[in-house]
């Protein structure tokens, strides 16, 4: 299934049904009086987060959605039927934005969470509604009110506990495949990963978290270079970032600073998230060069740098423990 994380749709709630003008005409009833019923309410447009979806592809080709109109009132004081609600199903983690693409209407992060985007129109009153002691034969009936309508953006942000960032070919997909059951595409050329990938990491009976791999960043990604920074939204919810640096590069500090600059340019709090820095591909580096590059990277990052080989598994346990420590601390803070 094709991955789609953004879609623009038009939604309209159902119009209310019209009221009815009718009079009672019945044998042996001398003064029947008004007998017209009210119109029914139009259906609402509701968006619901469901757990069995992971893409917005359903909204790629169908972009206009209308709820059912309310039924008209009828004689014998019968009220029209209410229009059925229209429920749009989206993946968990979907944000609903206004047409300006900035105002957040709702953020659906729990299974079954719902939000009403447009409310159906009220049904019009029939003439029976207006009868009184001074107005015994009203001939007034109101039309139904129109339902609300609007354009909205749907934007999917994957739910993950930790996210992997780095330049292309830093070994992100290899690491994800090594620590989870995910099977991302792995090749020896840049931008092998074209869409975000998720994997579940299990460290023990109680230690489990979701790890997200996004396409690699390059300098100028916030201006649209490479694949741009649109996929950074998928790690906005992460508790910690794993920054992988290709140890086979001579300029490891430059690689680190390039990615950090793109995170800061993107904003949304990514640059301030806890970060685990790991020098990857240790199996392909001479020990002396590895030590020098690790020291240089530690000075540039201002923190301890782990050594990792995603291909052989060297250092994998230490990296996962560091990630789990940050995730557990975040979960504890949320619970408190």
The Cα–Cα gap between 50 and 59 comes to 15
In order of start, what are the domains of the chain with their CATH numbers? 1-156 (2.70.210.12), 162-335 (3.40.50.300)
Angle between helices 316-335 and 172-179 (to 10 degrees): 80
> Residue 41 annotated as binding?
no
> Residue 214 annotated as binding?
yes
Position 226 pLDDT exceeds 60: no
Mean pLDDT of the chain: 88
> Residue 169 annotated as binding?
yes
Query: What value does the mean pLDDT take over residues 315-326?
Result: 90
Global pTM?
A: 0.78
Confidence of residue 74 (pLDDT cuts 50, 70, 90): very high
Q: Where are the alpha helices (DSSP H) in 133-286?
A: 172-179, 252-266
The Cα–Cα gap between 209 and 211 comes to 7
> Residue 281 annotated as binding?
yes
> Residue 91 annotated as binding?
no
> Residue 39 annotated as binding?
no
Confidence of residue 7 (pLDDT cuts 50, 70, 90): very high
CB atoms within 10 A of CB 124: 24
> Residue 211 annotated as binding?
no
8 Å CB contact between 300 and 256? yes
Nearest to 161 by CA among 318, 45, 335, 324: 324
> Residue 325 annotated as binding?
no
> Residue 235 annotated as binding?
no
8 Å CB contact between 193 and 3? no
The Cα–Cα gap between 49 and 66 comes to 19
> Residue 216 annotated as binding?
yes
> Residue 12 annotated as binding?
no
> Residue 310 annotated as binding?
yes
> Residue 309 annotated as binding?
yes
The Cα–Cα gap between 66 and 85 comes to 9
- Better pLDDT: 291 or 335: 291
> Residue 247 annotated as binding?
no
Q: Write the pLDDT tens digit of every residue in 117-150.
A: 999 999 999 999 999 988 988 999 999 999 999 9
> Residue 173 annotated as binding?
yes
Query: What value does the mean pLDDT take over residues 15-20?
Result: 97
Query: What value does the mean pLDDT take over residues 72-82?
Result: 94
Least confident among 45-49, 58-62, 169-173, 285-289: 169-173
Q: How far is CA 183 from the centre of its chain?
A: 23
Q: Write the pLDDT tens digit of every residue in 249-295.
A: 888 899 999 999 988 888 888 888 899 999 999 888 888 999 999 99
> Residue 72 annotated as binding?
no
> Residue 194 annotated as binding?
yes
What is the predicted pLDDT for the residue at 38?
96
Position 189 pLDDT exceeds 90: no
């Amino acid at each position: 299934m094709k991955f789609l994380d953004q879609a623009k749709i038009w939604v309209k709630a159902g119009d209310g049904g019209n009221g009815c003008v009718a009079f009672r005409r019945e044998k042996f009833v001398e003064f029947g009086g008004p007998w017209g019923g009210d119109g029914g309410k139009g259906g609402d447009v509701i968006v619901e987060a469901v757990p069995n979806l992971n893409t917005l592809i359903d909204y790629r080709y169908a972009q206009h959605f209308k709820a059912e109109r309310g039924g008209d009132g009828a004689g014998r004081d019968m009220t029209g039927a209410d229009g059925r609600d229209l429920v749009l199903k989206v993946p968990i983690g979907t944000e609903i934005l206004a047409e300006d693409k900035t105002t957040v209407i709702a953020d659906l992060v729990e299974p079954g969470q719902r939000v009403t985007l447009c409310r159906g129109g009220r049904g019009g009153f029939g003439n029976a509604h207006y009868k009184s002691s001074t107005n015994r034969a009203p001939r007034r009936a109101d039309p139904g009110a129109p339902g609300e309508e609007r354009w909205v953006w749907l934007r999917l942000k994957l739910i993950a506990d930790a996210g992997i960032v780095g330049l292309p070919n830093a070994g992100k997909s290899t690491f994800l495949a090594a620590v989870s059951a995910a099977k991302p595409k792995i090749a020896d050329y840049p931008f092998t990963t074209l869409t975000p990938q998720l994997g579940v990491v299990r460290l023990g009976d109680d230690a489990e978290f979701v790890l997200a791999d996004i396409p690699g960043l390059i300098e100028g990604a916030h201006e649209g270079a490479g694949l741009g920074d649109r996929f950074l939204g998928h790690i906005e919810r992460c508790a910690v970032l794993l920054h992988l640096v290709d140890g086979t590069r001579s300029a490891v500090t430059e690689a680190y600073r390039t990615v950090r600059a793109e995170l800061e340019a993107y904003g949304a709090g990514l640059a301030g998230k806890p970060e685990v820095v790991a020098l990857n591909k240790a199996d392909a580096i001479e020990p002396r060069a590895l030590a020098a590059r690790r020291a240089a990277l530690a000075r540039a990052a201002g923190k301890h740098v782990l050594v990792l080989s995603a291909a052989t598994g060297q250092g994998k346990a230490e990296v996962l423990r560091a990630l789990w420590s940050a995730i557990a601390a975040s979960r504890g803070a949320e619970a408190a």
